[in-house]
Amino acid sequence: MGLPVEQIVARLGGRLSACGDVTIVGVAPLDQAGEGQLSFLANPKYRAQLARTRASVVVVDEATEVPPGLLAIHTPNPYLYFARVVALLNPPVAHAPGVAASAVVAGAVHAGAHVAPNAVIEVGAVIGEDAVVGPGCVVGRDVHIGARTRLAANVTLYAGVHIGTDCLIHAGAVIGADGFGFARTDDGQWVKFPQIGSVRIGNKVEIGANTTIDRGAMSDTVIADGVKLDNQIQIGHNVEIGEDTAIAGCVGIAGSTRIGKRCMVGGQAGIIGHLSICDDVVISAGTLVTKSIRSPGVYTANLPLQTHADWVKNFSRLRHLDTMAQDIRTIEQRLDKGESES
């Protein structure tokens, strides 16, 4: 119940502004924190809150001075430090090793793993040490789940999917369903292209609720170490996502597209198939990416919000942009002609 601030600094580093016999029992934003709570300042726009906060300790950068009487921990990246304090104070719920009586297990479960009620683990699957398979999860044939990886409830892993260590997969995620691949006959019918690749997911990957990652058509779909995927993302067959790339909710990535390392993709963005996005690219929310990106930087294609009346007025012009451009050209020619005549 609580952690003395000096123990926090002993474990996480940082410089304490003064000695202080303070025990931290919780965390909160600056404007909500009270006695025994630790807060942080990362965004300068909240600096004014420092003077008024009732937090017992604040995490700030090296340069920030705090009001007298307020204890500070100075560190180069206050938000990162704060996240680590929250983790110290809120260790994940421990799961007792063992397999629930109602689970149906045909695969191999490490003695240190936890398999929750009504989970199904098919033949050939391997569940690693200290891994957690949540209630209602379905782990297909020959799936590999690495050590300490946790599946929340009702996750589905299709046959052959390989997941590394220290991953967290949220409820309702589906990994390894068939990619969307069909050949078309002359009369417009679709013949299924069997999806015989699989999905390989690295270590320390987080996958959000109801996110779907399809298996490859011939080779594998690949998610590298450290990738973070939010909820309701759709990843098509044979997509490859590089290390430490983070993707926000509702993004769709079509088949065979490759995304580099350390990219950030905003919510509801889309990336069409067979593209290549280099490392360190940032895609803004709602942006549809329709061509490959070769240079790091921020890319955007979305529309400014307007009142509906303004939208009607301005956007009816969008159909006539080409005409407008031609009108400007014509006017310029008339002017040129007029001036040369005068």
Which amino acids are annotated catalytic?
237
Counting residues that bind a second copy (by CB under 8 A) gives 131
**In the range 302-341, which residues lie near a second copy by CB under 8 A?**
302-308, 310-322, 324-325, 327-328, 331-332, 334-335, 338-339
Does 63 interact with a second copy (rule: CB under 8 A)? no
Q: What are the backbone dihedrals phi and psi of residue 80, each rounded to the nearest 5 degrees, phi first?
A: -60, -45
Task: Give the footprint of a second copy on residues 19-48 (CB under 8 A).
Answer: 27-29, 32
Restricted to residues 104-133, the positions that interact with a second copy (CB under 8 A) are: 104, 116-118, 120, 122
The CA distance from 328 to 298, in Å, is 31
* Selected binder of a second copy within 212, 220, 223, 260 (CB under 8 A): 212
- Residue 68 or 122 with smaller CB distance to a second copy: 122
Residue 134 falls in which region: left (phi positive, over 0), alpha (psi -120 to 50) or beta: beta
Which letter does DSSP use for residue 179 in this model?
P
Strands 270-271 and 288-289: parallel
Pick one of 10, 51, 108, 196: the residue that binds a second copy (CB under 8 A): 196
The nearest distance, CB 40 to a second copy, in angstroms, is 10
248: which residues sit within 8 A by CB, 6+ positions away? 230, 264, 265, 266, 267, 268, 269, 285
- Per-residue DSSP letter, 131: -
Cβ closer to a second copy: 52 or 184?
A: 184
In the complex with a second copy, the residue whose CB is nearer, 14 or 172, is 172
Q: Which of residues 137-166 bind a second copy (CB under 8 A)?
A: 138, 140-141, 152-154, 156, 158-159
The binder of a second copy chosen from 129, 261, 276, 278 (CB under 8 A): 261
Which of the residues 170 through 189 are near a second copy (CB under 8 A)?
Answer: 170-172, 174, 177-178, 180-186, 188-189
DSSP letter for each residue of 65-100: ---TT-EEEE-S-HHHHHHHHHHHHSPPPP--SEE-
Please pick, from the candidates 53, 56, 75, 287, the single residue that binds a second copy as defined by CB under 8 A.
287
Tell me if 56 sits within 8 A of 39, measured CB to CB.
no
Say if CB 314 and CB 297 are below 8 A apart.
no
